[in-house]
Amino acid sequence: MSADQVFSPGLAGVIGAETAVGSVDGAAGRLLYRGYPIEELVTQGTYASVVDLLLTGEWHPNAELTPVSVPPTVLAALRLLPAHAHPMDALRTAISVWGAGERLGWPPTAEEAKRIIAFAPSALAAFARLRQGLEPINPEPGLHLAAAFLQQLHGKTPDPATARALDAYLMAGAEHGLNASTFAGRVIIATRSDIASAICGAIGAMKGPLHGGAPAEVIGQLGEIGSVDRAEDWARGKLNRHELIMGFGHRVYRAYDPRAAALRKVAEAMPNRPDWLDLAIGAEEVILRVFEEMKPGRAMKTNVEFYAAAVLQGVGLVPDLFPATFAIARIAGWSAHAIEQAGVDKLIRPDARYIGHAERHLPG
């Protein structure tokens, strides 16, 4: 590394890729998939149509994505995992075993990506049942991916509104620029490795609590708050103790996260809205007001994790499944970036600045 090269911790501000997949405008609070606003996609699209858009660049509103059963080799591997295994580890293991049994080529293809996307929810549902001592079940014919995931998880067909809520969540989580997990996947595919390896690496990056774990923590916070009339004292106490309030603030967004806005509409439209959802909506308004008063000038707006937690709990998921469900959604974006990076076909190999000892020698 030469003396005039600039070091940026965490590669902040460094452009690591050119992409046509997604655009994140943090200042304006805008998120585009292939040029289309996320709000329009969540309102008018389906997860299958969003997957097709991200992978091909074309909008096909009637695109379909048929859920598939877990292959026997993958199911055998999941049976060997301990019940206390992290669901992210189970999902990563499932995709790794699947990839080992496939003849995956290079460059990666949209068809390979769709095959992973079609079986990943079934694999997660299978692990969730196995750890409860229940046998996995196959997806019902005719169900779309989100509905089939809930059916395989709970053992019954979900109502359309509940399935639609999860489908909207999957759309909102499908892509978000060059985040840590997407970058990890692009680094792997740039070595001419296969798409399963890239997805496994991306899952490993997302497993970290700084990336994919916040929605589960939001549920714990709402439990601490308990009721809307306690939200103000709770928020003031957290800020006075310099503690984080999960679900607010974002590394990129300085305006209200557009994914949060889209998911709030979905959550509000869910049938038989439970008390905890009313608590989330009321607490959000109070917390934003406290932020404005105690942290004036700080761009602490609601981010996607806050309403992701509301939707995921609303469709019946337990909190430790939240990160893996997020990963299932993001496989679409990871795959689109993998295909794009393969088109560049250039190894990603940044320099490092050495700060250790000068040359020295072992004692004679």
Residue 253: pLDDT band (50, 70, 90) is low
Contacts 24+ apart (CB under 8 A), 28-35: 28/255, 29/253, 29/254, 29/255, 29/256, 29/257, 29/258, 29/301, 30/258, 31/176, 31/258, 31/259, 33/174, 33/175, 34/59
Structure-token pair, residue 287: 């917390």
**CA–CA separation, 91 vs 86, rounded Å?**
9
Query: Mean pLDDT over residues 54-80, rounded?
Result: 97
- Is the per-residue pLDDT at 27 higher than 80? no
- 261-303 pLDDT, tens digit per residue, is 888 887 787 776 667 778 888 999 999 999 888 888 777 788 7
- Bigger pLDDT: 60 or 10? 60
For residue 2, the model assigns a pLDDT of 63
Amino acid in position 195: I
Q: Say which range, 114-118, 209-213, 357-361, has the weakest mean pLDDT.
A: 209-213
Residue 359: pLDDT band (50, 70, 90) is very high
Name residue, tokens 């309403």: 307
Alpha helices in the chain (DSSP H): 38-44, 47-56, 72-80, 87-101, 110-130, 145-154, 160-172, 180-189, 195-206, 214-225, 231-240, 258-268, 275-294, 304-314, 322-344
For residue 14, the model assigns a pLDDT of 81
- Is the per-residue pLDDT at 250 higher than 70? no
**CA–CA separation, 125 vs 154, rounded Å?**
9
Query: Mean pLDDT over residues 168-190, rounded?
Result: 95
Q: What is the DSSP letter of 302?
A: B
Residue 112: pLDDT band (50, 70, 90) is very high
CB 31 within 8 A of CB 343: no
Which domains, ranges and CATH numbers included, belong to the chain?
Answer: 66-211+324-344 (1.10.580.10), 214-314 (1.10.230.10)
Residues 6+ apart with CB under 8 A from 349: none
For residue 146, the model assigns a pLDDT of 98
**CA–CA separation, 159 vs 157, rounded Å?**
7
Highest mean pLDDT among 40-44, 55-59, 267-271: 55-59
Amino acid in position 161: A
Query: Mean pLDDT over residues 61-68, rounded?
Result: 96
- Is the per-residue pLDDT at 1 higher than 80? no
Report CA dihedral (288, 290, 296, 298) to the nearest 10 degrees. -40
Active-site positions? 250, 305
